[in-house]
Amino acid sequence: MILVYADGPILQQSDETYSVALLRCDRHPNNEAAIEGACRLGLDPLLGNPFILAEDGSVIWDTSELLDVCNRRSCAKLG
């Protein structure tokens, strides 16, 4: 599994200095490890659109699904 995310915001205000976010791709041995990797990132709002791909490039977890599962795990740890 491959966790893909940008290291900064993809969309930026037009009146600010523009910088290009770098795309990060972290390989993980399985789905669970990739999800844990995403959750460890803390789902920082500055990170852009995390998602998980299979080795063949198909999307396993899109951004909204991944945010939901990490939020649920975070709530479960608190509760």
Mind listing the pLDDT tens digit of every residue in the chain (79 residues)?
A: 999 887 766 666 667 666 666 788 899 999 999 999 888 876 565 666 788 999 999 999 988 888 888 888 877 776 6
Place of tokens 């976010």: 21
pLDDT at 33: 95
The contacts of residue 39 (CB under 8 Å, 6+ apart) are 69, 70, 73, 74
Give the separation between CA 41 and CA 35, rounded to whole angstroms. Answer: 10
pLDDT at 51: 87
Burial (CB < 10 A; 0-12, 13-18, 19+), residue 40, is exposed
- CA triplet 15, 21, 25: central angle to 5 degrees? 165
The pTM of this model reads 0.73
